[in-house]
A = this chain, B = another copy of it.
């Protein structure tokens, strides 16, 4: 039985040291420290989660609710500190995608010619 956890934990420690990870950490702290940015972000996130819960419960989302969601999203995405955080999220997401690409590559190869 191979112990894969040693290698996962080592990668995770290095992942936390990347510029992309540290940049997101700083960007989130910048939002957290600014009351306006923090409220805009948490409002948008809470409205979004509430809509998702309704959808998962099979409840209908009204036109009014959808317009409100769009408005809170627009307001949040106009805040420079939130923009910085979203950009940092995308950059870190690219690192995670790269990790997944390399790990799953040998799986694709199994199916070659099938």
State the A residues within 8 Å of B (CB). 1-2, 4-5, 7-12, 14-19, 21, 24-25, 28, 31-32, 38, 41-42, 45, 92, 95-96, 98-100, 102-107, 110-111, 113-114
Contacts and interface: CB of A to CB of B under 8 A. Distances in A.
A45 B114 CA distance: 10
Nearest to A105: B12
B111 A16 contact: no
28 contacts: A2-B14, A2-B17, A2-B18, A2-B19, A4-B11, A4-B18, A4-B99, A7-B11, A7-B14, A8-B11, A8-B98, A8-B102, A10-B10, A10-B11, A12-B106, A15-B103, A21-B107, A24-B110, A25-B110, A31-B114, A32-B113, A32-B114, A38-B114, A41-B114, A42-B114, A45-B114, A96-B100, A96-B104
